[in-house]
Amino acid sequence: LAASAKWHNYIEGAVLRREQPLAFGGKLKQIDLLLEWPDRTEVVDYKSSERFAEKHTEQVREYIKAVRGILHKPTTGMVVYLLPDAIKIVHVHS
């Protein structure tokens, strides 16, 4: 419950856009969750394994750059690993 309350507080005031399509670099991608506040945005990408962690981080960096270019707001991101025994969050900045 504590983690749930923290997440609720974190996203308070944000517009949540789930499975947001995004075209960049001639490719169509899909952002798992885009959080948009009046003054900033955050890209959230969910993964079930850390096996390709570097690739995941780079993917979120690409999403950040694209979203920043489209919305003209400061944008950050995170990879949320939904692991069998834990949830791990890796913050990503470009």
Dump pLDDT digits (tens) for 37-65: 999 999 999 999 999 999 999 999 999 99
The per-residue pLDDT for 8 is 83
pTM (global) more than 0.85: yes
CA angle 87, 41, 28 (to 5 degrees): 85
The per-residue pLDDT for 80 is 95
Structure-token pair, residue 90: 């890796």
